[in-house]
Amino acid sequence: MKITVDCDCTPEEARTFLGLPDVSPIHDKYVQTMLDTMDGSNSVEQMEKLFRSFSPMGDAGVRLFKQIMDMGMMGSSSKTDG
C-alpha cells in the first residue's frame, strides 16, 4: 500500500508547521553585511580576496574552481573551432 500526501504551503508555513526556527532575520543581516562588504571593495584584488574567504577550501578551492572553468572553456572553444 502506498499513500501520498500533497501539502500546498509556503516555505514559511512549512517551517512553522515542522517547528523549525525562523532564521530570516539572520539571513537578512548576512545578506546586508555581504552587500556592504562588496560595496566597499574598490578593486578586483579586494573582491578576489573576499571570494577566497567564502570558498570552502580557501585558496585550494578557488584554484580548483578556476581549473574546472578553464577546462570547460577549452572544451567549448575546441568545439566551435572544428
Contact yes or no for 52/63 (Cβ under 8 A): no
Number of domains making up the chain: 1
Domain that holds residue 62: 11-81
Q: Given this model, what pLDDT does residue 52 score?
A: 72
Is residue 6 one of the residues assigned to a domain?
Answer: no
Sign of CA dihedral 10, 15, 19, 23: negative
Q: Identify the three-state secondary structure at position 7.
A: coil
3 belongs to a structural domain: no
Q: Is residue 4 part of a domain?
A: no
- For position 78, what pLDDT does the model report? 63
Q: What is the pLDDT of residue 41?
A: 65
Q: Are 50 and 38 in contact (CB under 8 A)?
A: yes
d(CA 31, CA 5): 35
Residue 1 counted as domain residue:
no
- Predicted confidence at residue 4, as pLDDT, reads 94
pLDDT along the chain (82 residues), means of 10: 91 89 88 79 72 72 82 72 52
Residue 77, in any domain of the structure: yes
